[in-house]
Chains A and B, each alone.
Chain A
Amino acid sequence: MARKSAVVAALLVLLVISFLAAIGFGAVRIPVSNVLSALFGGDSATAVDKIVLDLRLPRAVEAVVVGAALGVAGALLQGALNNQLASPDIVGVTGGAGFGAVLILVLFPAQVALLPIGALIFGLLAAALVFAIAWTGTSRGTVTKLILGGIAIGALFAAGTTAILTAYPDRVPSVLFFIAGGLTSDGWHDLKSVLPYFVVGFVAAVGLIRPLDRLALGDEVAASLGSRPQLIRLAAGIAAALLAAAAASLAGLLAFLGLVVPHLVRMAAGTSNNTYVIPVSALGGATLLLIGDTIARVIAAPTELPVGPFMVLLGVPMFLYLLRKAD
């Protein structure tokens, strides 16, 4: 119990510190006192307030929401499939979102604003195809069928992405940032437009916690407890697809976060109880992405680097350390 509480407390402290750091660090360095007065100081409109409220706050909030969404999406899928290798890739979202983004950048190069919606639509389309394959025909709703369907559809969209990039090599640089995964400082607009998907995904995730705990003891125990295993899997898959597609639309392809965060939480706290892992994965994902994004933004300033590689740099050592420690 103490260990679990300690992990939550440490993550909360880290989240607050990294949130303030995310707003304080940048081309203009803003002291914490000024950050706090801009955030809570009421109506003032100094240049610092504008930087804080219009640029850095939306980006920090985006990092928190995207990180939390990917952490929860990974935890939902790993719980639903009883497979610790599951991540948003597995339901085809990553492949679909990547294809959607590339398609927009190639077909409508002047309409970059359409990119999030393209990534969202194709991310969800890919997931819908995976679910359609997994939930029709014989042995519908089984884990194997879902995973194999996800691999097939993911490969299809990945091939589509590669084909487009090969046909339009001059557009590759503009796509790279999305594929590597990175947040942008575009104010609140993008976040607002995909917020409903996040809200539905998070609410569904909370409702799925108990059914997923039942599934952890096997389909027959879940059925004994009056649940329908295939329905739980489908609902968890849809919720994860919504969260991951909305996350990809804002921050590109960061699915690694969805794979690694639930593992970090389980290994650090020593429990795989979904009542704990799902909410704490939200906290862990938010914290990790916020730290990664701040580093990516300031390490080579004024150039902003995509956050994806930093997530891997941050996540892998922690992951390997805990993997060695875990029994």
Chain B
Amino acid sequence: MPVVLEAKEVGVQIGATTIVEHANLELAAGQLIAIVGPNGAGKSTFVRALSGIQNATGTIAWNGRQLAEVRGRELALMRAFVPQRALVPPGLTVRDAVTIGRSVHVRPWQRAGDEDRAAVEAAIERVGVAEFADRQLTTLSGGELQRVQVAVALAQDAPVLVADEPTSALDLGATVAIARLLRGLADDGLAVLLVVHDLTLAAAIADRVVVMSDGTTVASGTPREVLTRERISAVWGVEASLEVSEDERTALHVSWLD
């Protein structure tokens, strides 16, 4: 599969504080990469930098082109970013929100065409929110809202989807729904970059896992290779072991009280 994103020695400084340094990543079409790490490890800042939302140093290349050369609409057609917490404004329906996601395909001073409307409906259908497409965003549950955010990004019709902790505030059922959705999108050929805290989720759906610690990428590989007892102990400071069964079920055995 072709590489769509290549990042080498990425660094981010905010004021005098270094948030990310020496971070590396390579993402291919149809691949789902999960970025994991403790709070404050720089995961969100790293993916924001890769997405062009946060200024960064180092090499970030989208389809072989330097990020600094790609801006605005062109960048929006290369990747879509699902934020951790999007605003939920009153007076907007699900369809309104997804239509806003599609706006990148509509030229300034032009109106949306049939193709755009079809793309909006397809995105709504894909994430399974068609039954409440005309409801106001303010009436939705956290899980429903998160699926709508993915639909907003899908309407953008970019080959890469970057999602920053989309499951961090969701219950088990809603988390599983998002996990299946993201894995399904990768199986459909989309490249997915996912920031996530839940190691069992990462192990279950990711092709590769990138571990971040203190602003740096410290390991990269398949979940079994990377999420070892030793690494979990070194990075999270917790005695825990990951179990992946043959039917792809995952469990984390944590030593909670010692």
Interface residues of A (CB under 8 A from B): 82, 138, 207, 210, 213-214, 216-218, 220-221, 223-228, 266, 270-273
Tell me which of B73, B79, B152 contacts A217 (CB under 8 A): B152
Using Cβ atoms and an 8 Å threshold, which residues of chain A touch B90?
272
Counted as pairs of residues, one from A and one from B, with CB atoms less than 8 Å apart, the total is 83
Stretch at the interface among B2-10, B96-104, B169-177, B192-200: B96-104
Whether A271 touches B103, Cβ cut-off 8 Å, given contacts A210-B108, A226-B73, is no
Check if B81 sits within 8 Å of A223, measured CB to CB. yes
B107-155 with Cβ < 8 A to chain A: 108-109, 149, 152-153
Using Cβ atoms and an 8 Å threshold, which residues of chain A touch B92?
216-217, 271-273
Check if B91 sits within 8 Å of A266, measured CB to CB. yes
Using Cβ atoms and an 8 Å threshold, which residues of chain A touch B15?
138
| Binary contact readout B77-94 vs A (1 if CB under 8 angstroms, 0 otherwise) | 101111101110111110
Check if A217 sits within 8 Å of B100, measured CB to CB. yes
**Could you say which interface size class chain B belongs to?**
35 or more
Check if A223 sits within 8 Å of B89, measured CB to CB. no
Check if A272 sits within 8 Å of B89, measured CB to CB. yes
CA of A272 to CA of B152, assembled, Å: 17
Check if B83 sits within 8 Å of A220, measured CB to CB. yes
Whether A214 touches B83, Cβ cut-off 8 Å, given contacts A82-B89, A226-B76, A271-B91, is no
CA of A213 to CA of B90, assembled, Å: 13
Known interface pairs A221-B81, A224-B82; 11 further A-B residue pairs with C-beta atoms within 8 A, sorted by A's residue number: A210-B108, A216-B89, A220-B81, A221-B86, A221-B87, A225-B101, A226-B71, A226-B74, A226-B77, A227-B72, A272-B92
Whether A217 touches B91, Cβ cut-off 8 Å, given contacts A224-B80, A225-B156, A226-B75, is no
CA of A118 to CA of B246, assembled, Å: 79
For A79, the closest partner residue in chain B by CB is B89
Most chain A CB neighbours (cut-off 10 Å) among B52, B76, B149 = B76
* B24 at the A interface (CB under 8 A): no
* B51 at the A interface (CB under 8 A): yes
Check if A224 sits within 8 Å of B96, measured CB to CB. no
Check if B100 sits within 8 Å of A213, measured CB to CB. yes
Using Cβ atoms and an 8 Å threshold, which residues of chain B touch A228?
72
Closest 6 pairs between A and B when the two form their complex, measured CB to CB: A272-B91, A226-B76, A224-B81, A220-B83, A218-B87, A226-B72
Check if A216 sits within 8 Å of B81, measured CB to CB. no
* B254 at the A interface (CB under 8 A): no
Check if B109 sits within 8 Å of A273, measured CB to CB. no
Least CB distance from A82 to B in Å reads: 7
CA of A216 to CA of B101, assembled, Å: 11
Using Cβ atoms and an 8 Å threshold, which residues of chain B touch A227?
72
Check if A225 sits within 8 Å of B91, measured CB to CB. no
CA of A138 to CA of B14, assembled, Å: 11
CA of A228 to CA of B48, assembled, Å: 14
* B68 at the A interface (CB under 8 A): no
Tell me which of A207, A218, A221 contacts B108 (CB under 8 A): A207
CA of A217 to CA of B51, assembled, Å: 17
CA of A210 to CA of B106, assembled, Å: 10
Whether A221 touches B152, Cβ cut-off 8 Å, given contacts A210-B103, A210-B108, A271-B96, is yes
Q: What would be 8 A-B contacts, judged by CB atoms less than 8 Å apart?
A: A217-B92, A217-B152, A220-B53, A221-B83, A221-B87, A225-B100, A225-B104, A225-B156
